[in-house]
A and B are shown apart, each in its own frame.
Chain A
Amino acid sequence: MSAYSLRGLNWFNALAANAAEVSGLPASVKAADGTLGDRPARFLAVVADPDNRFPRAQNGEVGLLEGWGLAQAVDGAIELDQDSDHKRALIAIIDVPSQAYGRREEALGIHQALAGAVDAYARARLAGHPVIGLLVGKAMSGAFLAHGYQANRLIALRDPGVMVHAMGKASAARVTLRSVEELEKLAASVPPMAYDIDSYASLGLLWETLSVSQIEQPTASDLTLVQDCLIAAIKDTLAGGNDLSSRLGAPNRAASSKVRELLRAQW
């Protein structure tokens, strides 16, 4: 068992098996051009680089190089397809334990680096690239905002290791002045505070959830299942708009719709 997750890398290798790897990126940012069904697609992942020059970003965290590197990988696709009517899909494979926490990161503006990634993904979506996020592991906080949360559609695999949250449990307990036990108790009755994927799904933010047989290292049938779902998500995206409105509508996110309704009426 390695100190860091290999899920993102394994799913990247499986989905991009026959794809051409994009060169010139930081070692922790993987990108490759392949196909999904009959459509071109660029697969993207942030993976652990134990030799990362930034010591606080060696376990797959999204740090300075990863934020700006994702920006480069995504913007490259926008430029390549600038004059094309068939923009390649962007598939963000998400297994990111956190953003990088460190002195170098804050000093050199990690917030700006993560904004670089958000900027590129959002521009790609607005330019007409279908952007799909595939959650295969952790999708935490700033790391998820930078890699995946700008997607038109989000798909999550059902597994206890797939989780979305704003902060790790120990830090969240410290900041809210609670014990970890109290935090867990509250999370059980307040869906947006929970760490599990079913509670997250109840917020309406996921387009689909899938069960696979081997999440760490996908089998051939796991791969086919996920590819079919990605193809369907791309099709659904192309039939809709290029904003994030498809995430609204769940009863557990009713206030988000109510606010928009009132704003429009009073605008």
Chain B
Amino acid sequence: MTDSTRLLRQHSFVELGARQRARALLDDGSFRELIDPFERLVSPWLAKQGVVPQADDGVVIAKGTIEGKPVVICAIEGGFQGGSMGEVGGAKMAGALELAAEDNRKGIPTAAVLLLETGGVRLQEANLGLAAIADIHAAIVDLRRYQPVIGVVAGSVGCFGGMSIAAALCSYLVVTQEARLGLNGPQVIEQEAGIEEYDSRDRPFIWSLTGGEQRFASGLVDAFVADDINAIQQQVHALLHKGKPAQERSSRYAWFLERLSQVDTARQIEPAAVRSAYEGDRT
């Protein structure tokens, strides 16, 4: 296939909004949104601060099926306030995951897919965003006892802050080349630690450490796929088929502590050193 025909066949997932992404992953005709924008359940905190709220608070909750099996999708709209988690959006995601776990306790095998494009806590709702993220963490750990919880970081916002911890709690993580995954945003590291430590304007440097390709090569995510709707769909299907992993990545403290004990911390770190420290992680 020539490059141009390949490009013509490819349909970008990154360019889709949260609602379109959720629809693209669910079986045709099965998409049903909960607390849709017409409910107008907006953030009670933004208007007070002169920020225009959005009717879905930047989070889309959709129930449906994937290959006939019940799934709930929680999709974050990276275009609204940087995908930040406020009280309402955070509660939508936490509440949906809580109900999915409850389904499983009643014998309904609901799985979850999280489409993560977020800078983390919405600072205008600071402590309520942080509390909601703690609830999301709790719900992921509960639900993944029964069914896989699959995180997808497609880009272009990436996944940061407390939500990067949520991503790291998922049974499986899927990324593209556009994705970045890390705890602290580049600006904040530069603010706290100085430009020598982290230059927030040096994009190649940032991608070389936290980009999707590097995270995959270091075994910190499970799949690296092209920015293509079909490719992401197929990957999500494959992981749902696979069922729960034998052990979640976030439970492997002994392995990680052993590897970290081998890292030379006397000098600054390079991407290759991370790959070699975590080599052999892929099973």
Asked whether B191 lies within 8 Å of A170 as measured between CB atoms, the reply is: yes
Asked whether B98 lies within 8 Å of A106 as measured between CB atoms, the reply is: no
**Nearest opposing residue in chain A for B180, CB measure:** A106
- How far in angstroms is the closest Cβ of chain A from B68? 19
**Nearest opposing residue in chain B for A101, CB measure:** B192
Asked whether B265 lies within 8 Å of A104 as measured between CB atoms, the reply is: yes
Indicate which residue in B126, B182, B249 contacts A192 across the interface (CB closer than 8 Å).
B126
Question: Which B residues lie within 8 Å of A191 (CB)?
Answer: 127
Task: State which residues 169-213 of B face A: CB under 8 Å.
Answer: 169, 181-185, 187-189, 191-193, 197-198, 209-210
A168 vs B126: C-alpha distance in the bound complex, in angstroms?
11
Q: Given the known A-B contacts A171-B191, A189-B48, A263-B99, are A256 and B165 also in contact in the complex, defined by CB atoms under 8 Å?
A: no
Question: Which A residues lie within 8 Å of B166 (CB)?
Answer: 115
Question: Which A residues lie within 8 Å of B35 (CB)?
Answer: 259, 262-263, 266
- How far in angstroms is the closest Cβ of chain A from B163? 9
Chain A 27-59, CB-CB to B under 8 Å as 1, else 0, gives 000000000000000000000000001111000
Interface residue tally for chain B (C-beta within 8 Å) = 84
Question: Which B residues lie within 8 Å of A103 (CB)?
Answer: 189, 193, 197-198, 209, 268-269
Indicate whether B41 reaches chain A with its CB closer than 8 angstroms. Answer: yes
Asked whether A114 lies within 8 Å of B91 as measured between CB atoms, the reply is: no
**Nearest opposing residue in chain A for B89, CB measure:** A259
Q: Given the known A-B contacts A119-B169, A192-B87, A255-B44, are A107 and B269 also in contact in the complex, defined by CB atoms under 8 Å?
A: yes
Asked whether A53 lies within 8 Å of B265 as measured between CB atoms, the reply is: yes
A123 vs B134: C-alpha distance in the bound complex, in angstroms?
14
Q: Given the known A-B contacts A167-B188, A192-B128, are A118 and B250 also in contact in the complex, defined by CB atoms under 8 Å?
A: yes
Asked whether A176 lies within 8 Å of B124 as measured between CB atoms, the reply is: yes
Indicate whether B232 reaches chain A with its CB closer than 8 angstroms. Answer: no
A250 vs B84: C-alpha distance in the bound complex, in angstroms?
23
Indicate whether A142 reaches chain B with its CB closer than 8 angstroms. Answer: yes
Indicate whether B14 reaches chain A with its CB closer than 8 angstroms. Answer: no
Chain A interface size, as a band, is 35 or more
**Nearest opposing residue in chain A for B135, CB measure:** A244
Asked whether A171 lies within 8 Å of B188 as measured between CB atoms, the reply is: yes
Indicate whether A116 reaches chain B with its CB closer than 8 angstroms. Answer: yes
What residues of chain A have their CB less than 8 Å away from a CB belonging to chain B?
26, 53-56, 64-65, 68-69, 71-72, 75, 98-99, 101-116, 118-120, 122-123, 125-126, 141-142, 144-146, 149-150, 164-168, 170-172, 174-176, 186, 189-194, 199-200, 203, 205, 243-244, 247, 253-256, 258-260, 262-264, 266-267
What residues of chain B have their CB less than 8 Å away from a CB belonging to chain A?
34-35, 39, 41, 43-45, 48-49, 61, 63, 87-88, 90-92, 95-96, 98-99, 120-121, 123-135, 137-138, 141-142, 145, 161-162, 164-169, 181-185, 187-189, 191-193, 197-198, 209-210, 215, 218, 220, 248-254, 256-257, 260, 263, 265, 268-269, 271, 273-274, 277
